[in-house]
């Protein structure tokens, strides 16, 4: 699998209790199907060769011998992939509930279950011995392999460990130690019965354990065919990565269940390195055995995993809840700053664009929460050479609808005087022409804030910070920036959400702001309408935000960023377009750190932030050469 992914499967098959050969055939057929899909590792349920619920029959030699013989035949079906298969295994008169690890045509190890449930409907100690502390070398029928719980299995692309069912439910699961010792993945063969409300709890355990371990976690539960007088098994299968469900199979299916997903091994390893506390967990006193499995076959593209083109933007049933939480973080940050400085006045420049609209909406909510009069918000629109009629109108209408103190201070005369002072030809529309306007607006805001005893709220967003698309000591500067960790794609959603939280008039204005093309409005307008469009200059913010998220979240290389974008956007952008915009993103990202190294305070709202005081530290003189090699 290119760029550090591993294709993992969890499979629950119908079980024929007592018919080991029938179960063997089902597993062998499944292995052939999974190989054709490019699966590199697969886990089947606990005791799947015999059935988990055989009860006292598990201690019969006939059952154990048939299971062992079936396992030996199954090893021939594992060329190029790894399989974890459950069976009872007797060694030195001790019967263990084992997960056999098969790989590249051989039995590589047997992992015994450590924690045996023995209460309520479970009584495994009636038959099995715990595998805690077991470390044996087994020689049987000409084969030699390790038997023990403390084993890591290494392939060329990933490292995995195995724990069985109940092992996950205890206070300190074996997978915790396995992950600290280097396991990227945990494979869990299970036979957990179905109870009302139990699935949500079990799913939470899987999500949380994968999140705590910065690991992939594959779970295969026993399903149809398992039978006792009192228990039902739902056959749940799931693949999790760092707290997120990548794939889940159908429950209560007579035909079985399958979950397949590509786990991002590179991302998991990057996250572990970034998290300082992960490696502070004490390493186990007992040593870990390491079994080398060699190389798994390559899994073909496309990736089998959810891949959102707008990773910063909430979606689905929880979207509104997440948007509210983000807005609440922004507001609480501003409320805290105002309270700390005994402030009752805020000054914000309102252009009629997305960013300033969001900052103004946040300011109003914060003032309302603090019990301050909205008149203490001084919203200033500053039309200049490039101001469009639509944005100017929206700015005026929004300020009026929100009941804030509204001012209009045109900057044209002041900027032209400044041009004369520095010898700038007004007909030359270069960077000096543009930046002079941005700095004039910032000067007005700062000086006006001094006059009224307020603080200037910044409006620049995370995407602009990543690309350096702001004027140094112009819109780059403020006294507190409520938008500093909100990317442009998320700004749109927040403006729509917050606008709808007010009245219909505010909501309608906000919708028109969202529908207006994004522009810095620094070049002369044509017949009152803007000519300068940011995405014509930089490329689409959707792509830039996608690159930013995956660069920061997983340390992705340029090649990986390209591969992910080509799949996530599904043909929306051609390869040449993705290549060109990726180069733009990388060049600007690495060249603009000097601006990010001196940004104002502002609240972190999500997992990605570029604050030089917290999340991102990088020299301003960074060279981007090796990141551009793709």
Residues catalogued as catalytic: 46, 113, 165
The residue to which tokens 């006292």 are assigned: 56
The CA distance from 623 to 444, in Å, is 36
Phi-psi region of 228 (alpha: psi -120 to 50; beta: other; left: phi over 0): beta
Phi-psi region of 345 (alpha: psi -120 to 50; beta: other; left: phi over 0): beta
The CA distance from 355 to 575, in Å, is 30
Contact between residue 186 and residue 179 where contact means Cβ atoms under 8 Å apart:
yes
Query: Strands 257-264 and 377-381: what pairing?
Result: unpaired
The CA distance from 328 to 322, in Å, is 10
Q: What share of the chain is helix, strand, coil (3-state, %, to 5)?
A: 45, 20, 40
Determine whether 57 is exposed, middle or buried from the number of CB atoms within 10 Å of its CB (0-12, 13-18, 19+).
middle
CA 19 to chain centre: 43
Phi-psi region of 505 (alpha: psi -120 to 50; beta: other; left: phi over 0): alpha
The CA distance from 212 to 168, in Å, is 13
The CA distance from 459 to 465, in Å, is 11
Strands lying side by side in the sheet with 289-294:
244-248, 237-241, 216-221, 185-190, 159-162, 151-155, 289-294
């Amino acid at each position: 699998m290119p760029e550090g992914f591993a294709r993992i499967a969890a499979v629950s098959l119908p079980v024929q209790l007592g018919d080991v050969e029938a179960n063997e055939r089902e597993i062998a057929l499944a292995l052939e199907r999974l190989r054709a899909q490019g699966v590199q590792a697969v886990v089947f349920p606990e005791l799947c060769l015999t059935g988990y619920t055989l009860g006292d029959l598990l201690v019969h030699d006939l059952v154990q011998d048939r299971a062992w013989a079936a396992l030996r035949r199954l090893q021939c079906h594992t060329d190029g992939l790894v399989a974890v298969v459950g069976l009872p295994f007797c060694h030195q008169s001790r019967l263990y509930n084992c997960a056999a690890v098969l790989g590249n045509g051989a039995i590589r190890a047997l992992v015994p279950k450590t924690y045996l449930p023995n209460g309520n409907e479970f009584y495994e100690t009636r038959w099995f011995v715990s595998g805690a502390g077991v470390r044996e070398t087994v020689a049987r029928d000409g084969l030699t392999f390790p038997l023990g719980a403390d084993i890591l299995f290494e392939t060329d692309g990933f490292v995995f460990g195995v724990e069985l069912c109940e092992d996950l439910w205890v206070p300190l699961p074996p997978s915790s130690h396995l992950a600290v010792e280097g396991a990227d993945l945990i494979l869990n063969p299970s036979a957990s019965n179905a109870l009302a409300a139990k699935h949500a709890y079990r799913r939470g355990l899987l999500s949380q354990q994968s999140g705590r371990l910065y690991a992939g976690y594959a779970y295969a539960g026993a399903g149809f065919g398992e039978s006792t007088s009192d228990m039902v098994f739902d056959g749940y299968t799931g693949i999790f990565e760092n707290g997120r469900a990548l794939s889940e199979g159908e429950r209560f299916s007579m035909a079985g269940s399958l979950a397949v997903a590509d786990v991002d091994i590179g991302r998991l390893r990057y996250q572990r390195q970034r998290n300082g506390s992960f490696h502070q967990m004490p390493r186990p006193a007992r040593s870990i055995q390491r079994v080398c499995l060699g190389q798994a076959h390559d899994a073909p593209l496309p990736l089998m995993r959810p891949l959102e083109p707008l990773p910063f933007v909430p979606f689905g049933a929880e979207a509104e809840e997440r948007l509210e939480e983000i807005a609440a973080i922004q507001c609480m940050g501003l409320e805290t700053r105002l309270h700390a400085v005994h402030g009752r006045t805020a000054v914000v420049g309102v252009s009629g664009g997305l960013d300033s609209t969001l900052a103004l909406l946040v300011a109003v909510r914060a003032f309302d929460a603090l019990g301050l009069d909205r008149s203490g918000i001084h919203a200033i629109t500053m039309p200049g050479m490039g101001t469009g009629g639509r944005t100017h109108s929206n700015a005026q209408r929004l300020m009026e609808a929100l009941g804030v103190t509204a001012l209009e201070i045109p900057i044209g005369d002041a900027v032209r005087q400044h041009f004369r002072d520095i010898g700038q030809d007004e007909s030359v529309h270069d960077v000096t022409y543009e930046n002079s306007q941005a700095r004039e607006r910032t000067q007005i805001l700062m000086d006006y804030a001094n006059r009224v005893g307020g603080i200037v709220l910044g409006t620049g967003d995370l995407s602009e910070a990543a690309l350096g698309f702001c004027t140094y000591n112009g819109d780059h500067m403020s006294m507190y920036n409520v938008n500093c960790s909100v990317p442009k794609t998320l700004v749109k959603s927040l403006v729509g959400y917050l606008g709808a939280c007010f009245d219909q008039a505010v909501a309608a204005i906000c919708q028109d702001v969202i529908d207006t093309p994004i522009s810095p409005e620094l070049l002369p307008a044509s017949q009152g309408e803007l000519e300068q469009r940011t995405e014509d200059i930089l490329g689409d913010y959707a792509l830039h935000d996608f690159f930013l998220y995956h660069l920061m979240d997983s340390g992705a290389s340029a090649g990986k960023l390209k591969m992910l974008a080509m799949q996530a956007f599904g043909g929306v952008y051609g390869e040449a377009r993705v290549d060109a915009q990726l180069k733009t993103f990388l060049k600007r990202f690495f060249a603009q750190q000097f601006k990010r190294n001196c940004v104002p305070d502002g609240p972190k709202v999500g997992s990605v932030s570029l604050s030089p005081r917290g999340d991102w530290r990088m020299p301003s003189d960074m060279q981007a050469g090796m990141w551009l090699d793709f």
